[in-house]
Structure 1
Amino acid sequence: MTGDSSNNSILLNSMKENSSVSCPVVSQHISIAVLLCLVLLLGLLLNIFSVWVFLRRMPKWKAGTILQFHLAISDAIICPLAPFIMVYFALGGNWAFGSLMCRVKIALLTTHFYGSILFLTLISVHRYVSVVYHSQDSCLKQKDFVKRLCAGVWLFVLIKGVVCFSLLDISTVGNHTVCLSIHQGENIEVYFAMNFVLLIPGFLVPFTISLFCYIRLARSLSSINICHQKGKQIKSKSQKMVAICLVIFGLCFLPMNVVRTMIVVVKKYFSSNCDLLLQVETAYYASWVLSSANCCLDPLIYCFSSENFTKAVRSSLRKIGARIQTPQEDCAETVSRENNTVAH
């Protein structure tokens, strides 16, 4: 009896020791930091330029323009984090900017990520309504309603950001100070719960709505008469927009949500498997690079969905000396050269 009790005690102590194993913080390859910062800096330039075009070169806004403008703002707010993230990775995963900046970083990441998803979803729904129900009145075609809708989205994502700001902070793991890291063992329950709270309303529901709109829009486009120039333009513009939206959802948002779910599950149930944890952690940071790429891809939506935006961009580039020609202009120039050749 005494021997059995002693053996059980040793076994329990051994299980406790194994369950409390803390994997060391391993420095990620510097290429992840370099790629992430390059993507964010390019996104900053593109979105600042897009916001400037919306504000200064497009005096008349439609409902779709309002949604695109708010998407550009949502993309731009994350880009100033690039230097902080670069230093964090360069120091081997050591956060050197204090508690407040860590909380601000987490809040901005959350607000940007889910704000971009929701505004992209609204743009998809608006495009679907505009094409499929073009002859019918809809609240999504009314600017006042869309403004209130955008205000509601900002309120929703800012509440998410504030919650993350209040719940998460820096931690000391070994000789590292970490921020938003899976190595923060004391936060694993919070990370696990928050992941699924954010995943369902923040990604799965918007993605399902967007996918429904894309499928219905694709069916509607197949019946558009492309013999008329207007029908041809609508079909081409919508096809390009559907394609880029699917790329953004599939390339930028899906990997981050999948990998983040994997990493919280691994940390919660397989915390002693350090090799597996390191692999999913590396995949998680790689998904950061992909998710940040949406800042660079979203401006393509503005060009594909708004002819006025494209014209404003061309006009702005001409003012700074760049020559951007439309296919019609190229054709006209070719005809002019041929006529001059014949005349001579």
Structure 2
Amino acid sequence: MQNSTNVITSCSVSEDYKQILLPLTYSVVFVVGLLLNGVVLWMMCCRTKKWSCSMIYLTNLALADLLNVLSLPLLIVYYCMDDRWMFGAVGCKLVRFFFYASLYASILFLTCISVHRFIGVCYPIRCVDYTTKKIAIVGSVIAWILVVVQVFPTLMFSNTGLINNQTVCYDLTEPHNLNQYFPYGITLNITGFLIPFAIISICYCSIIRTLSKSEESITVGNQIRRKSIRTIVVVCIIFAICYVPFHITRTIYMFVAVYMPLKDCSVLKFVMMSYKIWRPIVNFNSCINPVLFFLLNDRNRTRILAELGK
């Protein structure tokens, strides 16, 4: 195994693009994400009298998104100041922790929504006992516990450091810790992304197969059919734009940084830039996730339009 510190420090990569791309991206996500998720939580807390299982999962999804959105102002200042971190080591650890907690909580609650939709379409009578609000609340609590357990090590790995006498906040960990971080990073990818992604894929394949049968489609009903199709489309868009590219580039970056020979920096430069470009894009999940709230229930759209018309 090569010395990761030497790999990173010996390859100089121009990152001037970050001073424009990252503040702009994070600012858009902050404004749009705060607005949309704020509306979702306001609708749930102030305008919804009867909560369903889907509403419980969507509320937790909005909370997960806000966890990330509210930490973005620190990163906006950080990159506007030309990578000068002014918020201390604790602030750095918390920002990284909130990002990964929000990311994997979002994936887990999208998984919960997909499984709930799968049961409602494929086994509406046989599994009716597994679609109660009590199950949804217990499932949400378990999901948050799993996320905290998965992401807790980021508080130990994330830290500040000095580059050219300038304090920076490392995203994954310090360069000399990459060898130790790599097994954890791969484990996090598998448990936080790959397994939920496989579950969601199985659920959607089963839903599509069920809906494609004419007799089953009649049994399911047009309303559930529309909701299922909307869920599949939105979740697939989220994974295609945000989660899949991010995890692929992140995995390749970690592997190259740890295992590639020191003599050739071209590959490392390419994968490093690819990862750092997709790193802010993954935050757009906080803007797309709230769309599910408005698409899964026609009454939600009606209430929003009524409030806007006042």
Same fold (TM over 0.5): yes
Residue number among 270, 280, 283 corresponding to 1:279 in the alignment = 270
More contact order relative to length (CA 8 Å, sep ≥ 6): 2
Give the match for residue 25 of structure 2: 35
Measured against aligned partners, the alpha-carbon deviations of 1:122-168 in whole angstroms (never above 9, x if no partner) come to 10010111122223343431111211110111111122333211332
Post-superposition shift, 1:214? 0.5
Residue number among 292, 297, 302 corresponding to 1:306 in the alignment = 297
Give the match for residue 231 of structure 2: 241
With over 3 angstroms needed to count, the CA separation of the structure-2 counterparts of 1:202 and 1:296, relative to structure 1, is same
Decide which structure has the larger Cα Rg and report it. Answer: 1
Post-superposition shift, 1:254? 0.6
Matched, 1:77 2:67: yes
Post-superposition shift, 1:227? 9.8
What SS does structure 2 have at the residue aligned with 1:178? strand
With over 3 angstroms needed to count, the CA separation of the structure-2 counterparts of 1:236 and 1:95, relative to structure 1, is same
Post-superposition shift, 1:246? 0.8
TM-score (norm 2): 0.89
Residue number among 185, 189, 192 corresponding to 2:182 in the alignment = 192
Q: For the residues of structure 2 that align with 1:67 and 1:198, how far apart are their CA atoms?
A: 22
Measured against aligned partners, the alpha-carbon deviations of 1:298-322 in whole angstroms (never above 9, x if no partner) come to 1121122223322332332223xxx
Q: For the residues of structure 1 that align with 2:10 and 2:178, how far apart are their CA atoms?
A: 12
What SS does structure 2 have at the residue aligned with 1:220? helix
Post-superposition shift, 1:18? 6.9
With over 3 angstroms needed to count, the CA separation of the structure-2 counterparts of 1:186 and 1:133, relative to structure 1, is same
Post-superposition shift, 1:96? 2.2
Matched, 1:145 2:105: no
Residue number among 196, 207, 210 corresponding to 2:200 in the alignment = 210
Residue number among 11, 14, 28 corresponding to 1:23 in the alignment = 11
Matched, 1:108 2:98: yes
Post-superposition shift, 1:16? 12
With over 3 angstroms needed to count, the CA separation of the structure-2 counterparts of 1:20 and 1:74, relative to structure 1, is closer
RMSD: 2.7
1:89-168 paired onto structure 2 within 5 Å: 89-168=79-158
Measured against aligned partners, the alpha-carbon deviations of 1:152-210 in whole angstroms (never above 9, x if no partner) come to 11111122333211332112233332222468321212331221110111111000000
Show structure 1 runs of 5+ residues with no match: 1-14, 320-344
Residue number among 42, 63, 77 corresponding to 1:87 in the alignment = 77
Q: For the residues of structure 1 that align with 2:55 and 2:9, how far apart are their CA atoms?
A: 52
Give the match for residue 47 of structure 1: 37
Give the match for residue 56 of structure 2: 66
Q: Is the 8 A contact 1:54 1:309 kept in 2?
A: no
Measured against aligned partners, the alpha-carbon deviations of 1:253-300 in whole angstroms (never above 9, x if no partner) come to 011111111111111123644443333222212212321111111112
TM-score (norm 1): 0.81
Show structure 2 runs of 5+ residues with no match: none
Opposite residue 53 of structure 2, the aligned amino acid is A
Sequence identity percentage = 28
Q: Is the 8 A contact 2:105 2:147 kept in 1?
A: yes
Q: For the residues of structure 2 that align with 1:298 and 1:189, how far apart are their CA atoms?
A: 34
What SS does structure 2 have at the residue aligned with 1:27? coil
Matched, 1:57 2:47: yes
Q: Is the 8 A contact 2:5 2:175 kept in 1?
A: no
Post-superposition shift, 1:226? 10
Q: Is the 8 A contact 1:225 1:232 kept in 2?
A: no
